[in-house]
Amino acid sequence: MSNTAALNPNFSVVEVQENGARSTVVLEPLESGYGHTLGNALRRVLLSSLPGTAITKVTIDGVTHQFTSFEGMTEDVVELILNLKQVRIKADSQEAGVLRLNVKGAKEVTAADIECEAGFEVVNKDLYIATLAKGKNLAIEMVVESGVGYQLASEIETEAVGQMAVDALFSPVIKVSYKVEATRVGRRTDFDKIVFDIVTDGTISPLDAVKQAAEILIKQFSQVVNPVVKEVKEELVNLSPEEVETMKLTVEELDLPTRIANALRKGGFETVADLVRAPKDEISRVKNLGGKSIDLIEEALSKKGVVLTN
């Protein structure tokens, strides 16, 4: 590249075709080679790193586990839960909440019948859930949480008898593809143009998704230019270099389930050092953590040679 134009980007981001949850977003003009550089980075972040909200636990009146039959409903409980997993929720914050469904047949139940707490909204209201026979009642309480990526039901800790964990897909972006085309500016014909085809679940617009992905990348690259590493507290100065490195590990680096790592961060525990400074009962008071979660945290720490304070 013969000039420094790439160091001072001057391209536009335009939604050239919009059809609800699907859009074509174009970035142009970019210096030669930057089409794939930016396109691939944004695509990866769009698919893997945007936060979203999903149902993680359900309690159905009269049902103790998912293989129980439910008289008066066309679907079995497994099918019902599979349908509930498709409910897409838009949330005003990252706090957990509760949705409720209480209907009486004869009725074809859809997501429009779900009642939401303040701050939550079901976006795919026409989603089919179940069919009830005349006189039959269906009452469901659903816990919704925020997260990133995909979380298996086996990683989710239930809190009461009869409550069932649900595989949760948090990502609001369903599909992303892009292509790089040539474009011209004046006499120069060697500029790149990125054409994104983005499909979301309706909880976020494709254009906003691109902007969120860019913000995530900005934070990552800012750390390269101006590294901000939290200092080890004074009480750790007498530890060996290996022990100090262990204390610097983030909760994500302990290989904990995503739900537990997210809950710890929201509770103010970001590193191993944060955990060892706090009594165990203080950690157990973190929202969405139970006894099983504390056991998993202790097990993960023990692998690093660390023990929680009682």
Domains in the chain (CATH in brackets) are 5-50+172-225 (3.30.1360.10), 51-169 (2.170.120.12), 234-302 (1.10.150.20)
Alpha-carbon span 293 to 155, nearest angstrom: 10
- Strands laid side by side in the 188-200 sheet: 12-19, 22-30, 188-200, 173-185
pLDDT digits (tens, 9 = 90+) for 2-42: 455 557 788 999 998 888 889 999 999 999 999 999 999 99
pLDDT at residue 4 in the model: 59
Q: Which residues of 114-131 are buried (b: 16+ CB within 10 A; e: fewer)?
A: bebeeebebbbeebebbe
pLDDT at residue 232 in the model: 46
C-alpha gyration radius of the chain: 24
pLDDT at residue 38 in the model: 95
Which pTM was predicted? Answer: 0.71
Contacts of 231 (CB under 8 A, 6+ apart): none
The number of beta carbons lying within 10 Å of the beta carbon of residue 160 is 8
DSSP secondary structure string, the chain?
A: --SSGGGS---EEEEEEEETTEEEEEEEEE-TTHHHHHHHHHHHHHHHT-EEEEEEEEEETT-SSTT---TTBSS-HHHHHHHHTT--EEESSS--EEEEEEEESSEEEEGGG-EE-TTEEES-TT-EEEEE-TT-EEEEEEEEEEEESEE-GGGSPP-STTEEE--EE--SEEEEEEEEEEEEETTEEEEEEEEEEEEE-SSS-HHHHHHHHHHHHHHHHHHHHS---PPPPGGGTTS-HHHHHHHH-BGGGGT--HHHHHHHHHTT--BHHHHHHSBHHHHHTSTT--HHHHHHHHHHHHTTT---B-
Residues of the chain with pLDDT under 70: 1-6, 229-240
Q: Pairing mode, if any, of strands 12-19 and 22-30? A: antiparallel
pLDDT at residue 2 in the model: 47
pLDDT at residue 5 in the model: 56
